[in-house]
Amino acid sequence: MKIQGKTEYKATSNACKLCSPLGASLVFRGIENCVPLLHGSQGCSTYIRRYLISHFNEPVDIASSNFTEETAVFGGAANLKLAMDNIIEQYHPDLIGVATTCLSETIGDDVPLILRDYIRDNRNGDNTAIVPVSTPSYSGTHIDGFHGAVRATVDAIAEKKNRAGMNINIFPGMMSPADHRHLKEILSDFGVGYHMLPDYSQTLDGPMWSEYQKIQEGGTPIKQIASMGDASASIEIGRILSETKSAGKLLAERFEVPCHNLGLPIGIKETDAFFDAVSTITGKPMPEKYSEERGRLVDAYVDGHKYVFEARAVLYGEEDLVVGLASFLSEIGVIPVLCASGGKSGHLKGKLCQVVDEFDAKGIEVLDGVDLVEIGDVAKEISPDFFIGSSKGYKIAREMSKPLIRIGFPIHDRMGGARIVHIGYRGAQQLFDIISNTILAARQDASPVGYAYM
């Protein structure tokens, strides 16, 4: 609706984004012995737990300061302090990550001041570290909350003590636990030390327990975060992230740690850039096993090119994921005819132009700040061959009788979302096979003879 012909308002249906505290909670779940605490109503933490549990299939505890009507009127300081007391007594964490919600932000609670008073009163008697981050969902997405929590953690904990040795800070962005494991494998094969924040490769995709753990094992140790000021360099992954006030930039400004900003390493081109950066920092060549993985990937591209060439895809999700996947799809010959995101950084189209060859000639449509209803309306006009994105796009794909390749977050209607490898030559190989077989299956099912050979 329009008011005085100037401002247009619209309702959101099936949002192509999630709330900011969710992203912050995911980061805090990737820090060793850390408990996320949402300053707001109980419903916020319940909603976020539901989303994380259904994707990762792991127990996820997220505390809440449990706002009531009275708290909303008179402020939540007492609730927040009581929540801190209860967490420390029951969980004995090394760190509590405090993320705000829309309600606490709207009433104007000064969370940093409340926590300073709490620490001054020595109520955290075991010296539990506390990291607050402002995450109102009305001014951002889950990705904004994610990167905000990373920066806030580095801001609060990182220091410089002139420690010796080669170490790289890795800020991977919102990847899968399997991606985190692959990143760590690559860096270990280079023989270099690293500090990765966050690291939920085990806390959100760990082995079966013999006994219940209040806080899952794993995560980035706090002492590693403290050491980030002495690192040889930082690598930040995400072309959109490179335009923000990030943790890597903070370390560069405060401690003069060089920061390398890279795109999400999906496909050959962006993965080459990642390996080149690590080689430049360490002075070491790419390990042979990754050269072999790259060679097998190139061979697969050649073998499958005739099946995927000029297929048309609708791509949606977090902005950095969309840019990374668009780069990959472009290099295998698939045209990402629609690239869409609920994020609205203002940089999506510009970054897509950098990674997709002949962008303008391909007639690619870019939508940002949209929901999946709007994405579906445009998709129906351009008739794609398949969709690629989270489970939230299933309704559109079903209505159009098009296959959906599930990727990113959230994946609620299939197993294994936490174990999808998106990055590196290995991840590209898996994605290429999935896309190729999806296209082949659709053509096979539509064939009047149902052919049995490619």
Q: Give the CATH number for residue 222.
A: 3.40.50.1980
Same-domain check for residues 268 and 321 = no
Same-domain check for residues 24 and 102 = yes
Same-domain check for residues 24 and 39 = yes
**Domain of residue 416, residue span:** 288-446
Same-domain check for residues 80 and 130 = yes
Same-domain check for residues 259 and 319 = no
Chosen domain end from 157, 188, 213: 157
Number of domains into which the chain is organized = 3
Indicate whether 11 belongs to any domain: no
Strands (E), 345-439: 365-368, 386-389, 404-406
Which pLDDT score is estimated for 2? 46
Indicate whether 212 belongs to any domain: yes
SS3 state at 8 = strand
Same-domain check for residues 311 and 435 = yes
Q: Do residues 109 and 39 touch, judged by C-beta distance below 8 A?
A: yes
Peptide bond connecting 384 to the previous residue in cis, omega within 30 degrees of 0: no
DSSP string of 160-221, one letter each residue = -----S-EEEEE--S--HHHHHHHHHHHHHTT-EEEESS--TTTTS-PPPSS--SS-S-SB-
Same-domain check for residues 387 and 432 = yes
Indicate whether 211 belongs to any domain: yes
Indicate whether 14 belongs to any domain: no
Indicate whether 10 belongs to any domain: no
Same-domain check for residues 266 and 123 = no
Closest CA to 163 of 228, 105, 217: 228
Chosen domain end from 108, 132, 157: 157
- What H or E segment, with its residue span, contains residue 7? strand 7-8
Q: Pairing relation of β-strands 34-39 and 63-64? A: parallel
Other Cβ atoms less than 10 A from the Cβ of 122: the count is: 8
Residue whose token pair is 């992203």: 23
Indicate whether 425 belongs to any domain: yes
Same-domain check for residues 174 and 313 = no
Same-domain check for residues 274 and 368 = no
**Is this prediction's pTM over 0.85?**
yes
Same-domain check for residues 152 and 182 = no
pLDDT tens over the chain, length 454 residues: 444 555 565 677 788 999 999 999 999 999 999 999 999 888 899 999 999 999 999 999 999 998 887 777 777 889 999 999 999 999 999 999 999 998 888 888 899 999 999 988 876 566 899 999 999 988 889 999 999 999 999 999 999 988 777 899 999 999 999 999 999 999 999 999 999 999 999 999 999 988 888 999 999 999 999 999 999 999 999 999 999 999 999 999 999 999 999 999 999 999 999 999 999 999 999 999 999 999 999 999 999 999 999 999 999 999 999 999 999 999 999 999 999 999 999 999 999 999 999 999 999 999 999 999 999 999 999 989 999 999 999 999 999 999 999 999 999 999 999 999 999 999 999 999 999 999 999 988 888 887 767 6
Indicate whether 188 belongs to any domain: yes
Cα-atom radius of gyration of the chain, to the nearest Å? 23
Indicate whether 436 belongs to any domain: yes
Chosen domain end from 157, 183, 200: 157
Same-domain check for residues 301 and 268 = no
DSSP string of 318-349, one letter each residue = SHHHHHHHHHHHHHHT-EEEEEEES---S-HH
